[in-house]
Structure formats: structure tokens, C-alpha cells
């Protein structure tokens, strides 16, 4: 690995690194001109499992997990909303836990197992949560929906695992599968259409089945 | 985001030796704060050392009856640990009052302590900010300061520290354990971990370059009723305007610290002595040296009322 800060940036090198989006952003930025000394970055290899399939990529270090999924693996179900961890549209499940894929570097996921909305179920063979969202109209425009569904699936798991939340009355007791618990735990997924109550109906139905 | 090189550390010793003597290097743990700031080019490291594989994800008992929390333990795992829920409830409560489920799954104990302020002017790179750009001025003073600090602030910076977890750690007298490149280790009481802004708000903690947090230890449990109360602009998924972490004993004595008011969790032992006299006396002592702006003067009253609510909850 090149360890010297004093390398000049090579725009061509950066573009060849394969992240057009980040490269353009940094080229346009007034603070990062060719005069600034920036390291020359070699692509880094990443091997991980996405929706049950082993995948291998060579990536610019700056690529987020979200961009790796969307731009490099064409899994565009996962959405980019705010790109700052504030909206939850990019939620995916990594090693059984939901995370914001926009605030995670792809190269930090070596060996991980990632599940996206495409991996939960297919139109022909939907995951129970996907089917419940359809049945209860748990969306309007649909943009936040993949993140909502990945979160909803994980929320039920988190409650079953006994992880406390802000609304858990007694944190030393078992956690109940209640509407309040589900609502609080879904607060990291914003829906600008306001489909919240239908999302809750969908979750309650699935929770009833698994309880 | 600016270009950076990246490597993985396999142990704390490996991490600090990789960082030793280098400029512009950062450790990355959960990445939930660092990457956010790198996207905005507020943080511009040229090299990242990934410490997520350093094996510091255990919570173990200490010899004197406390707990040692590895720096990489996630906020979710910490909040859910049965020992934390039973003996250090204020910590569990503070953790689940912060961020979202997704973020808490990634956020780590060390990263949470070191997360940077949410001052809107710090985030806006078109604005003057002494913390982001030394000696450039402070746009928040005289600006929109409703969310900002009222005590411990300076003429150079009125930002608050945004962590909920750190406020509970302060009330529990946690100790931050670190490792240096030369192999030396330090145990820093959390009361001495953060630096007040003074004229140099870009210096936020006593950590030295290449020094890594390896763990946070909690002394043995102190019993009492554990409460964390957070006041914010919406009921979930928002930073504190004011928060109170408290451990209150049946005889009316206790400890408390506040979030949302200062550049670090704000605890004044002399104010705790006044708890038996009620919230008003204790809050006034806590905020004796406050220098609020017109925009955030309301926080003084709000802190007192939040403390009153906490004391009422403890009695009920
Ligand atoms: C939308 C949003 C809402 C949020 N709301 C809240 C909230 O309500 N309350 C709250 O408390 N927090 C909140 N957070 C902040 C969140 O808690 C922090 O981002 C998180 O705790 C940081 O941990 P991390 O492991 O991801 O840190 P990173 O981003 O990996 O690192 C943060 C900093 O710490 C340094 N670092 C990390 N680990 C170590 C170590 N072991 N030794 C030395 N240096 C280290 C890094 O170099 C970096 O400078 C929110 C965040 C977002 C994005
Ligand atoms: S209050 Fe501090 S962080 Fe905010 S603009 Fe002023 S110097 Fe920057």
C-alpha cells in the first residue's frame, strides 16, 4: 500500500479506480484541487456474500456498501436517500443485523453476509413481510420501502432477541411484541408519504404469525 | 470524499503501530460518524486504519466487581447486555435513547465517546467555525444557537457534545483505557477525558496522536434507581436538547449529569449535594457558571424541569 501523503492526485487514476460518482464529487469540490497533496489510491479487493452468492469486487476505498450494491452489483432495490444515515432508505441486513449501508465502507465488509431486499424474497416468492406490506399498502411512492422492509424484518428479530428499546418499560424484563415497541424501533426509517400506520399493520400481522 | 488509503489492523498493538508517527491518519470503527464527516470533507484523513477486527468486542468482569467494555462493543450489544441492564440501567437507557436501531448496531463504545458535535455551523463548510478551521471564527455565536451549549463554552466555541452514552458513563465514573504506540497504556477517568474548548475548540479530548481507546471500565455497581431522561424535538431519533442521567438512592442522595448543555457531559458534584433540597437548588448550582445566548437561555429552565421530572420519577 502506498503510504505517502505527498502523492499528487491523478484524476485519471481515480476515475480508473471505478467510482465515477465519488470521483466527480471530489473533482468538483473547491477544496480538492490537483495542487492538494492526496494519496494515490490503489483499488482494494473485497470478497463477501450478497444474497447467498459469493461476490468479488475491486473497489476504490471510498465506495460505500450502498454504492457497491447499487453501482457495482446492480442491486438497485436498496435506495439512496440522504446518504448520511438520517433516513434509513439504505437499510440492509449484514450478518443478521440491520445497518445503514450508506455509512459503511464496502471494503470493511470482507467475509460478511449481506441481505438486501432482493435477497429477502422475489415477486413470485415473497418474504412474509413483503407480502404483508403489499396486503396492507405499507407504502405510497415506494422509495423508502426496501429499507422499511429490511428494518421491519430485523425489528421483529430484535424484539424476539430481547434487545431493549427506548419505550421498554422494564429493561430487566422480557421485551413485549407491542405496537409501541415496533413504532419506536422503526424511527430510523423515514417515509415522506406517511405510510407509517400501514407499515405498522403489516408488521403486526407478521409478528402475530411468528409470536 | 477525499481519497484515502486503507488497511486493517489485527490487534490494538498492530493498530497503534500502524498509526504511529503518521499525519492525517484516523482509526475507523463503526464509521457512522467518521464517514458522515468525510463525505462532507469536514474530516479529511488520507489514511484509515480499520480497527473493527481487533477483537475488542467483549464485556468482561473486572477484579474489583465492575465491567470492562471493549472499545468495539456495539451500542446495541452494550444496551442489551444483561449485566448492564441489571446493574447499570442508566447506561442501557442512554444508549437506546440515542440514534436509531440501524446506527446502534454499527456504532461502537469508543466511536460513540469520540463522535463530534452536531453544531449546524460545524456541519456547514461555508460557515466560519473554530472547531473545523482553527481561528476562522464562530458563526454560531450570534447565529442560530437554540441547540447549542450554555455552560463550559468559550468565546471561541459554544458547541455541545452530542453523545447520550457519555452522559451515563460520566455519572457512573467510567474510566477510558487506551494504548499508545510505545506499548504504554493509560486509564483516564471520564471526568478528565474531554477538554473544554477555551481558545482551541478543535482539541476535544486528552488523547494523543495514534492513541487508541481499547476499553471503557465501569466501577462496581452502586445500586440506586437508574434514570435517563432525554428531551428532544421529536420523540425518537433526534439529538438531545437537554438530557439528565441520574442514579438516585432511597435516602434522597444521588448523582446526576446532563447532556445537551455543554462541550462534555456536565456533572458538578457540589450540585449533587443539593439534590435532597430539590431540583431547583441542584440545577442552579449545576448551571451557576452558565453563559447562555438569547437563543438558548431556555435550556436553563428546561434542565431544571427535566431534573424535577427525574426526581419525581425516582420517588414514584
Ligand atoms: C442520523 C444520526 C443520528 C444520531 N443520533 C444520535 C443520538 O441521538 N445520540 C447519540 O449519542 N449519538 C447519535 N448519533 C451518533 C452515533 O452515536 C455515532 O455516530 C456513533 O456512536 C459513532 O461510533 P462509530 O463506532 O460509528 O464511530 P466512527 O465513526 O468509526 O468513529 C468516530 C471517531 O472516533 C474515532 N475512533 C473510533 N474508535 C476509536 C478507538 N477505539 N480509539 C480511538 N479513536 C477511535 C474515529 O477515528 C473517529 O474520529 C447519531 C448518528 C447519526 C448518523
Ligand atoms: S459553536 Fe463551535 S462548532 Fe459551532 S460554529 Fe462555533 S466554533 Fe464551530
Judging contacts by C-beta atoms under 8 Å, the chain A residues touching residue B39 are 83-84
CATH code, domain carrying B308? 3.30.390.50
Phi, psi of A49 (to 5 degrees): -110, 125
> Are A109 and A131 members of one domain?
no
Which three cell numbers mark B31? 464509521
- pLDDT-based confidence at A27, cuts 50/70/90? very low
Reported in sequence order, the residue ranges of chain B that DSSP labels E, i.e. its strands, are: 5-8, 25-28, 47-50, 59-61, 67-70, 175-179, 185-189, 212-218, 225-231, 242-248, 254-259
Beta A44-50 vs B175-179: how paired, if at all?
unpaired
> Are A113 and A128 members of one domain?
no
A73 within some domain: yes
- Kindly tell me if the per-residue pLDDT of A84 is higher than 60: yes
Inter-chain CB proximity A188 and B101 less than 8 Å: yes
Closest CA to A114 of A95, A91, A89: A95
B272 within some domain: yes
**How do residues B102-119 score in pLDDT, each as one tens digit?**
999 999 999 999 999 999
pLDDT above 70 coverage of chain B, percent: 100
Range of the domain at B33: 5-52
pLDDT of residue A209: 81
- Kindly tell me if the per-residue pLDDT of B152 is higher than 90: yes
- CA–centroid distance, residue B203 to ligand 2 (Å): 12
- Kindly tell me if the per-residue pLDDT of A15 is higher than 50: no
Q: What is the mean pLDDT of residues B232-257?
A: 96
Whether ligand 1 lies within 6 angstroms of the CB of B311 is answered as no
- Kindly tell me if the per-residue pLDDT of B182 is higher than 50: yes
- pLDDT-based confidence at A36, cuts 50/70/90? low
Beta B47-50 vs B25-28: how paired, if at all?
parallel
Is B216 within 8 Å of B81 (Cβ atoms)?
A: no
- CA–centroid distance, residue A139 to ligand 1 (Å): 31
Ligand 1 pocket test: which of A83, A85, A187 has the largest number of ligand atoms within 8 Å of its C-beta?
A85
| Prediction ipTM score | 0.97
Q: What is chain B's mean pLDDT, rounded?
A: 98
- Rounded to two decimals, the pTM is 0.93
> Are A113 and A185 members of one domain?
no
CA distance B8 to chain A (A): 8
The residue count of chain A comes to: 211
Q: Look at chain B and report how many structural domains it folds into.
A: 2
The residue assigned the cell 421491519 is A152
Q: Which of B37, B52, B67 is the last residue of a domain?
A: B52
pLDDT of residue A44: 96
| A106: contact with B, CB 8 A cutoff | no
pLDDT of residue B284: 98
> Are A126 and A180 members of one domain?
yes
**How do residues A115-143 score in pLDDT, each as one tens digit?**
999 999 999 999 999 999 999 999 999 99
CATH code, domain carrying A97? 3.10.20.30
Q: What is the mean pLDDT of residues B178-186?
A: 97
Chain A stretch 52-91, residues whose beta carbon is closer than 8 A to a beta carbon of chain B: 60-62, 64, 83-85, 88, 91
CATH code, domain carrying B27? 3.30.43.10
**How do residues B15-57 score in pLDDT, each as one tens digit?**
999 999 999 999 999 999 999 999 999 999 999 999 999 999 9
B220 within some domain: no
**How do residues B53-101 score in pLDDT, each as one tens digit?**
999 999 999 999 999 999 999 999 999 999 999 999 999 999 999 999 9
> Are A111 and A69 members of one domain?
yes
A186 within some domain: yes
* CB nearest A105 (choices: B3, B35, B97): B35
What one-character-per-residue DSSP string does B172-185 give?
Answer: TT-EEEEE-TTS-E
Say which range, A26-40, A70-84, B67-81, has the weakest mean pLDDT.
A26-40
pLDDT of residue A12: 36
- pLDDT-based confidence at A32, cuts 50/70/90? very low
pLDDT of residue B88: 98
Which atom of ligand 1 is nearest to B94's Cα? 11
Range of the domain at A128: 121-211
A34 within some domain: no
> Are A82 and A95 members of one domain?
yes
Q: Which of A120, A151, A172 is the last residue of a domain?
A: A120
Nearest ligand to residue B117 Cα: 2
| A104: contact with B, CB 8 A cutoff | yes
pLDDT above 90 coverage of chain B, percent: 100
- The residue ranking higher by pLDDT, A17 or A162, is A162
Judging contacts by C-beta atoms under 8 Å, the chain A residues touching residue B47 are 3, 5, 39
| Alpha helices by DSSP H, B161-297 | 165-171, 269-273, 279-286
Whether ligand 2 lies within 6 angstroms of the CB of B149 is answered as no
> Are A168 and A136 members of one domain?
yes
**How do residues B239-251 score in pLDDT, each as one tens digit?**
999 999 999 999 9
B250 within some domain: yes
B151 within some domain: no
Amino acid at each position: 500500500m502506498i503510504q505517502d501523503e505527498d502523492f499528487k492526485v491523478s484524476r485519471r487514476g481515480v476515475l480508473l479506480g471505478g467510482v465515477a460518482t465519488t470521483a466527480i464529487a471530489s473533482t468538483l469540490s473547491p477544496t480538492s484541487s490537483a495542487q492538494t497533496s492526496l494519496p494515490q489510491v490503489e483499488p482494494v479487493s473485497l470478497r463477501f456474500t450478497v444474497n447467498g452468492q459469493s461476490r468479488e469486487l475491486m473497489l476504490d476505498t471510498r465506495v460505500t456498501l450502498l454504492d457497491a450494491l447499487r453501482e457495482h452489483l446492480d442491486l438497485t432495490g436498496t435506495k439512496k436517500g440522504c446518504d448520511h444515515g438520517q433516513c434509513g432508505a439504505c437499510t440492509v441486513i449484514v450478518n443478521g443485523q440491520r445497518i445503514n449501508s450508506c455509512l459503511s465502507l464496502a471494503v470493511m465488509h470482507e467475509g460478511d453476509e449481506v441481505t438486501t431486499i432482493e435477497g429477502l424474497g422475489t415477486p413470485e416468492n415473497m418474504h412474509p413481510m413483503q407480502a404483508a406490506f403489499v396486503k396492507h399498502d405499507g407504502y405510497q411512492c415506494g422509495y423508502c420501502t426496501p429499507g422499511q422492509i429490511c428494518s421491519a424484518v430485523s425489528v421483529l428479530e430484535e424484539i424476539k432477541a430481547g434487545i431493549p428499546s427506548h419505550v421498554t418499560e422494564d429493561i430487566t424484563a422480557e421485551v413485549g411484541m407491542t405496537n409501541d415497541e415496533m413504532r419506536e424501533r422503526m424511527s430510523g426509517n423515514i417515509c415522506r408519504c406517511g405510510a407509517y400506520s400501514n407499515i405498522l399493520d403489516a408488521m403486526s400481522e407478521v409478528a402475530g404469525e411468528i409470536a | 470524499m477525499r481519497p484515502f488509503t486503507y488497511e486493517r489492523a489485527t490487534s490494538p498493538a498492530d493498530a497503534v503501530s500502524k498509526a504511529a508517527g503518521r499525519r492525517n491518519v484516523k482509526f475507523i470503527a463503526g464509521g457512522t460518524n467518521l464517514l458522515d464527516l468525510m463525505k462532507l470533507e469536514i474530516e479529511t484523513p488520507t489514511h484509515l486504519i480499520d480497527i473493527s477486527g481487533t477483537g475488542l468486542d467483549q464485556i468482561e468482569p473486572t477484579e474489583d466487581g465492575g465491567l470492562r467494555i471493549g472499545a468495539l462493543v456495539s451500542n446495541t450489544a452494550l444496551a442489551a447486555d444483561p449485566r448492564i441492564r441489571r446493574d447499570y440501567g442508566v447506561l442501557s437507557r442512554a444508549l437506546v435513547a440515542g440514534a436509531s436501531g440501524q446506527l446502534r448496531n454499527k456504532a461502537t463504545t469508543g466511536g460513540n465517546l469520540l463522535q463530534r458535535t452536531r453544531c449546524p455551523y460545524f456541519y456547514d463548510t461555508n460557515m466560519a467555525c473554530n472547531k473545523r478551521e482553527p481561528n476562522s471564527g464562530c458563526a454560531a455565536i450570534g447565529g442560530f444557537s437554540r441547540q447549542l451549549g450554555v455552560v463550559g463554552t468559550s468565546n471561541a466555541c459554544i458547541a455541545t457534545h452530542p453523545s447520550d452514552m457519555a452522559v451515563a458513563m460520566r455519572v457512573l465514573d467510567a474510566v477510558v483505557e487506551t494504548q499508545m504506540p510505545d506499548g504504554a497504556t493509560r486509564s483516564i477517568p471520564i471526568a478528565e477525558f474531554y477538554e473544554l474548548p477555551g481558545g482551541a475548540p478543535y482539541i476535544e479530548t486528552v488523547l494523543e496522536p495514534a492513541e487508541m481507546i481499547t476499553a471503557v471500565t465501569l466501577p462496581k455497581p452502586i445500586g440506586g434507581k437508574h434514570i435517563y431522561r432525554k428531551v428532544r424535538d421529536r420523540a425518537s431519533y433526534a439529538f438531545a436538547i437537554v438530557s439528565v442521567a441520574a442514579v438516585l438512592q432511597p435516602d434522597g442522595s444521588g448523582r446526576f449529569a446532563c447532556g445537551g448543555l455543554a462541550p462534555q457531559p456536565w456533572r458538578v458534584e457540589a450540585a449533587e449535594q443539593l439534590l435532597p433540597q430539590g431540583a431547583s437548588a441542584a440545577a442552579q448550582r449545576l448551571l451557576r457558571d452558565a453563559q447562555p445566548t438569547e437563543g438558548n437561555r431556555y435550556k436553563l429552565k428546561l434542565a431544571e424541569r427535566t431534573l424535577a421530572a427525574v426526581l419525581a420519577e425516582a420517588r414514584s
